[in-house]
């Protein structure tokens, strides 16, 4: 009889204080109130910690990078060399790419494809944020030459096609900054060297074919596309533009076939109410957004 009484007592519901939910257990309440955790629970937690500590002692194998093609710098399984010219293009213009360090390790960068299409002595890549005569005498000398141009769409930039018609000295070198628009702006304005060459810009109606990366506006082009258009103008040869764009088209086509999506420009998304992020509270950034919506050059 006593055992039956004890069993009935165990099954009776426990009185709960007001405001306590039915699913709340005494252990849960103790945890919320900062009370002591039962010994069994504490021992279980210590055991879990010990097993986790053991994982840190396991040897870690370094991640192996996929072997890359020495020419196009793409993984060998997705090599784009079949879309590159059989031999480097013959050009007389010297091209200097000023690359922001953040671009160097990006998977879908376009500069390696550009460099693979041109002779090594005609295309040089300089990586960094700050340049001076002491750090890079070669670049300093190039910037001071009368035949050097810098492709940057600033307020003083002239149309490249119109400039070469009136220039007494035909351009022999063009400098292009590789990075996001904010990175390019930072490099241009914080390096006095880049104020020496004549500023030029491209007046073209073509839209970017680099559709797997978002651009600020519909008129923005990738570094490879800028170089392709500029070199075709300076060399007076449209075949150069077609040849340089071919590997970029292949890159985008491959990525789209394997899950990538077409990235519309920020300008297009804002105009059509498709921009997925909330509008910035910062007045300067908000002003930029408004200019994009009204197709004003920024």
Condensed to tens digits (0 to 9), the pLDDT of residues 208-245 reads: 899 888 777 777 899 999 999 999 999 999 999 999 99
pLDDT of residue 102: 94
| Sequence-distant (≥ 6) Cβ neighbours of residue 84 within 8 angstroms | 71, 72, 113, 116, 117, 246, 247
| Residues 17-70 pLDDT 10s | 555 444 444 455 454 455 555 555 554 555 555 555 666 666 666 667 778 888
Between these two residues, 286 and 119, which has the higher pLDDT value?
119
pLDDT of residue 67: 84
pLDDT of residue 23: 46
Closest CA to 161 of 239, 235, 243, 98: 235
pLDDT of residue 143: 97
Over 50: is that where the pLDDT of 169 sits? yes
Q: What's the pLDDT band for 3 if we cut at 50, 70, 90?
A: very low
The length of the chain in residues reads 298
* Mean pLDDT of the region 154-170: 93
Mean confidence (pLDDT) of the chain: 81
Closest CA to 204 of 225, 188, 223, 224: 225
Contact 176, 157 (CB under 8 A): no
Nearest-angstrom CA–CA distance, 139 and 135: 9
pLDDT of residue 106: 87
Over 90: is that where the pLDDT of 206 sits? no
Nearest-angstrom CA–CA distance, 44 and 271: 57
Over 90: is that where the pLDDT of 261 sits? no
pLDDT of residue 205: 78
Over 70: is that where the pLDDT of 84 sits? yes
Between these two residues, 108 and 21, which has the higher pLDDT value?
108
Write down the domain spans for the chain: 76-263, 265-297
What are the tokens at 254?
């491959």
Q: What percent of the chain has pLDDT over 70?
A: 71
* Mean pLDDT of the region 161-165: 94
CATH number 3.30.70 is the correct assignment for the domain at 76-263: no
Highest mean pLDDT among 55-59, 82-86, 284-288: 82-86
Q: What's the pLDDT band for 298 if we cut at 50, 70, 90?
A: very low
pLDDT of residue 49: 58
Sign of the CA dihedral 269, 273, 274, 275? Answer: positive
pLDDT of residue 276: 78
Of the given ranges (38-52, 125-139, 150-164, 279-293), which has the lowest mean pLDDT?
38-52
Q: How many CB atoms lie within 10 A of CB 51?
A: 9
Q: What's the pLDDT band for 112 if we cut at 50, 70, 90?
A: very high
Over 70: is that where the pLDDT of 177 sits? yes
Contact 210, 110 (CB under 8 A): yes
Query: Of all residues in the chain, what percent are helix, strand and coil, respectively (each to 5)?
Result: 45, 10, 50
């Amino acid at each position: 009889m006593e055992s039956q009484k004890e069993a009935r007592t165990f099954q009776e519901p426990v009185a709960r204080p007001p405001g306590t939910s039915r699913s709340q257990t005494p252990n849960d309440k103790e945890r919320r109130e900062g009370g002591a955790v039962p010994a069994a629970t504490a021992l279980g937690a210590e055991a879990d910690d010990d097993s986790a500590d053991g994982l840190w002692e396991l040897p870690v194998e370094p991640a192996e990078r996929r072997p890359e093609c020495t020419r196009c710098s793409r993984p060998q399984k997705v090599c784009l060399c079949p879309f590159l010219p059989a031999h480097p293009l013959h050009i007389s213009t010297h091209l200097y790419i000023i690359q922001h360090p953040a671009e160097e390790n990006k998977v879908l960068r376009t500069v390696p494809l550009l460099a693979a299409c041109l002779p090594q002595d005609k295309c040089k890549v300089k990586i960094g944020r700050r340049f001076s005569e002491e750090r890079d005498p070669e670049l300093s000398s190039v910037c001071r030459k009368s035949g050097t141009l810098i492709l940057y769409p600033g307020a003083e930039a002239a149309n490249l096609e119109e400039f070469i018609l009136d220039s007494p000295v035909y351009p022999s070198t063009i400098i292009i900054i590789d990075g996001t628009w904010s990175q390019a702006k930072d490099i241009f304005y914080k390096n006095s060297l880049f104020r020496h060459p004549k500023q030029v810009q491209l007046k073209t109606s073509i839209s970017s074919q680099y559709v797997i990366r978002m651009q600020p506006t519909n008129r923005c082009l990738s570094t490879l596309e800028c170089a392709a258009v500029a070199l075709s103008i300076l060399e007076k040869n449209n075949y150069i533009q077609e040849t340089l764009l071919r590997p970029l088209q292949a890159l985008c086509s491959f990525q789209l076939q394997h899950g990538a999506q077409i990235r519309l420009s920020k300008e297009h998304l804002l105009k059509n109410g498709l921009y997925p992020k909330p509008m910035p509270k910062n007045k300067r950034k908000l002003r930029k957004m408004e200019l994009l919506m009204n197709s004003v050059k920024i």
